[in-house]
């Protein structure tokens, strides 16, 4: 009788390949992500992670059609996105 080895940790939830990445965020950005995740959990009972929020934001940017290739600085990126989002 063959048994599959028992996996340690959380079960995989991704349906496509992924790479673990480390990024530097400002404290205020971490606080925002944590508060958003906590508010979502409080309002809906759903547990959403920082990573899920960041992945969704990136996916939306990819699908937006916004061309950021002329940006030379973080401020250029910010200005382009603010203009596109009209904020």
Q: What is the pLDDT of residues 17-76, one digit of tens each?
A: 889 999 999 999 999 999 999 999 999 999 999 999 999 999 999 999 899 999 999 999
Report the pLDDT value the prediction gives residue 1, as an integer from 0 to 100. 58
Report the pLDDT value the prediction gives residue 87, as an integer from 0 to 100. 83
Q: What's the CA gap between 68 and 80, in Å, rounded?
A: 7
Rounded to 5°, the CA angle 70-17-21 comes to: 55
Q: Is 52 exposed, middle or buried (0-12, 13-18, 19+ CB in 10 A)?
A: middle
Q: Does the CA dihedral 50-52-57-61 come out positive or negative?
A: positive
Q: What is the pLDDT of residues 60-73, one digit of tens each?
A: 999 998 999 999 99
Q: What's the CA gap between 7 and 22, in Å, rounded?
A: 24
| pTM over the 0.85 mark | no
Give the single-character DSSP code of 29.
Answer: H
Report the pLDDT value the prediction gives residue 8, as an integer from 0 to 100. 75
Report the pLDDT value the prediction gives residue 15, as an integer from 0 to 100. 84
- Cβ atoms 41, 48 nearer than 8 A: yes
Report the pLDDT value the prediction gives residue 72, as an integer from 0 to 100. 98
């Amino acid at each position: 009788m063959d048994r599959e080895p028992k996996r340690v940790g959380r079960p995989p939830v991704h349906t496509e390949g992924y790479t673990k990445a480390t990024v530097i965020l400002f404290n205020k950005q971490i606080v925002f992500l944590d508060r958003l995740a906590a508010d979502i959990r409080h309002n809906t009972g759903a547990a959403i992670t920082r990573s899920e929020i960041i992945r969704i934001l990136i996916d939306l940017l990819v699908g937006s059609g916004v061309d950021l290739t002329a940006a030379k600085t973080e401020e250029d990126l910010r200005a382009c996105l603010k203009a596109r989002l009209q904020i």
